[in-house]
A and B are shown apart, each in its own frame.
Chain A
Amino acid sequence: MLSIRALTRPGLEPVSFGLAAGECMAVRGASGSGKSLLLRAIADLDPNHGDVSLEGRSREAMSGPEWRRQVTYVPAESGWWTERIDGHFADWTVAEPLAVALGLPPSCRDWPVSRLSTGERQRLALARALVQRPRVLLLDEPTSALDHDSGKAAEALIARHLADGGAALWVTHDPAQSARVATRVLGVENGRIREDVA
């Protein structure tokens, strides 16, 4: 579904791989090895070179925003641009079931963002990406600040995205999580990327 050929950017050596529908690939490597750079390059958030396409349609054939609505990057540290939580969602009624599934109360819609803990932010950032129903999720440690239960809830939601025919690249430091959620593993070391035996 997602095809990446000779993708490169400063700090990253050329990399090629593909991702099939329903497939999740873990991305592993030490901090600062270039995992986030890889995800940002695929999402076209930083200048980069290479042939990237989604279902045969080249990235360059779409505008940047159109591409990112389908190939959505969820950074490790989420950004918030307005005070209230529901200001970050086009339609809160669609988002609410996801928030509830992630263990947040429905009443959180009018909370100020400043009230959220790191873990709550992380969960809502995931919900914010999922409600747009992207084809590919680029997840940067999406459960790093979550306790066991919310981590499981997040994994379940992402599994549902995969079951619906989506795909995901999932940066994780946890070998157990990697084995649990992904069928393939990309190893990143000093900007060099190769596929590992899972």
Chain B
Amino acid sequence: MTYIHLDYADLALAALLVVLNGGLSVALELGVERRLAIAALRMVVQLTLVGLVLTTLFALVSPLWTSLAALGMILFAGHEILSRQDRPLSGLWAYGLGTGAMLIASVSVTLFALTTQIAPTPWYDPRYAIPLLGMVLGNTMTGISLGLQTLTTALVRERAAVEARLALGATRRQALLPPVRLALRSAFMPIVNTMAATGVVSLPGMMTGQILSGVEPVEAVKYQILILFLISGGTGLGSMAAVLGCAHRLTDHRHRLRLDRLTPASKS
């Protein structure tokens, strides 16, 4: 395997493109030059730090430090899920439900891959565990965010319809089935679209990366297929757990719709 080493001078050369964007923004008064600069700077700092952290983790090969890093990633992604909800559940449920669902789904799918298909020695080798978890996590996070957001907005919008069924004696399961279906469908859409478009419209980043580092395309493709299957598994498990959990939380044992368990609507 061969790959071409990059110098900092190479990066500086590429950074000129961002400077060019900034110049464009100034010339056309787009007003994004400041945000562009901050974002580019953040990207460099964040990735450099991640590079350092990964180097340390890979050198340690410690189950403890690897799981701590994994937990940190999950908690951060949980925060991201929360910030994508207009009206999340109130209280600890807001953060807990999405994060919990994501934790269960992404960890179990990653463990499944690490102990069977990829099986490095030791199985918790961070060189495999962390990137795998990262890819599964990112997509599971998107699925859960979409699922929860769709469910809560559908329940608020369709409140009269859901309560009409409950008032006529439907169970909470029957009454909530249409919004739950809608939510799960929208949670699945990104991964379905990704799988359908992959290789035709887009070349996945991981596969491209492997090819750039000298892996045979056929081997890189096999890895990519595996990853996409893992991602759809994680997305399915995670959104199912989150959406069903949310539907359960928004109803009670007397089969009442409990929208009072959402955070209050804002004015806008």
Contact = CB atoms under 8 A, between A and B. Distances in A.
A184 interface: no
Interface stretch (B38-46, B82-90, B163-171): B163-171
B178 A81 contact: yes
Contacts of A125: 164
Interface stretch (A38-46, A147-155, A166-174): A38-46
Contacts of B255: 63-65
A46 B258 CA distance: 8
A75 B164 contact: yes
B166 A68 contact: yes
Interface string A65-86: 1101100111101111110000
Contacts of B158: 79, 81
Interface string B230-268: 000000000000000000000011111110000000000
Interface residues of B, number: 23
Contacts of A175: none
B107 interface: no
Given A63-B255, A64-B254, A75 B168 contact: no
B170 A65 contact: yes
Contacts of B163: 45, 75, 79
A142 B256 CA distance: 23
A129 interface: yes
Contacts of A35: none
Interface in A57-113: 63-66, 68-69, 72-75, 77-82
B75 to A, nearest CB: 33
Interface in A22-43: 43
B141 interface: no
A132 interface: yes
A80 B163 CA distance: 9
Contacts of B165: 79, 81
B254 A44 contact: yes
A161 interface: no
A81 B167 contact: no
Nearest to A78: B164
Contact of B166 (A45, A47, A77, A132): A45
A129 B169 CA distance: 10
Contacts of A66: 169
Residue with the highest number of chain B CB atoms closer than 10 Å, among A47, A65, A72, A82: A65
Interface of B: 158-171, 175, 178, 252-258
17 contacts: A45-B163, A45-B257, A47-B256, A63-B254, A65-B170, A68-B166, A68-B169, A69-B168, A72-B167, A72-B169, A75-B164, A79-B165, A80-B164, A81-B158, A81-B161, A81-B175, A132-B168
Q: Which 10 pairs between the two chains have the least Cβ-Cβ distance?
A: A79-B160, A79-B164, A69-B169, A64-B255, A79-B161, A64-B254, A81-B161, A73-B167, A65-B169, A68-B169
Given A63-B255, A64-B255, A65-B170, 14 more contacts: A45-B163, A45-B166, A46-B256, A47-B252, A64-B253, A64-B256, A65-B166, A68-B167, A72-B169, A78-B160, A79-B162, A81-B158, A81-B161, A81-B162
